[in-house]
Amino acid sequence: MNERALLRRIRVWLVVFIVCLVLSGLTAFPLVTELRWAEDLLNAPASPAPEHLPALTEWIGRVRTGLDEADADHPFVLYGTDWLAFAHLVIAVAFYGPYRDPVRNIWVIEFGMIACAGIIPLALICGQIRDIPFWWTVIDMSFGVFGVIPLLVVRRMIKRLEAATAVESSPAPR
């Protein structure tokens, strides 16, 4: 594969990753509304969730109640999720560096890989402290597992691009 095609593939993977980060961030702003919708959907007359996924239905109801109470009585608590959303958006912006110059900014990809790995202990430790059901902790950890996959692919392609660029820029033998 030539360098131009490799660069294009790197950029496509990065755009997908950036879009996912942005969407993840944007969905952290309207949590109260989203949980109302989720609970309404799970408890709809045609929904099989209450019968087949009672733990999920109960958990979403519990979280919705907590968010409703926080929103009504202590809305400043939800300010923390606004910062969570903002962090996702800022991290997404950081990935513009590798988009522009993947070889020089490979450290951003590696930073992202470290962050994905950090999700696992955070979810395991804080999930237990915050009384999060283990099955939900597994869902949270999946963001790290699935997030690192495109970063591993991109890192491998950047290393190939770096090697191809080094061969091209090395002086010709005499």
* 152-171 residue pLDDT tens: 999 999 999 999 988 766 66
Distance CA 83, CA 100 (A): 27
- Arithmetic mean of pLDDT, 142-161: 97
11-68 per-position pLDDT tens digit: 999 999 999 999 999 999 999 999 999 999 999 999 999 999 999 999 999 999 999 9
pLDDT value of residue 166: 84
Q: What would the two tokens of residue 34 be?
A: 């989203």
Question: Half-sphere exposure of 68 toward its Cβ, with a 13 Å CA cutoff?
Answer: 10
Which residue is listed with tokens 């099955």?
A: 135
Closest Cα partner for 163 from 52, 35, 6?
6
**pLDDT tops 90 at residue 174:** no
**Residue 86 to residue 115: CA distance in whole angstroms:** 16
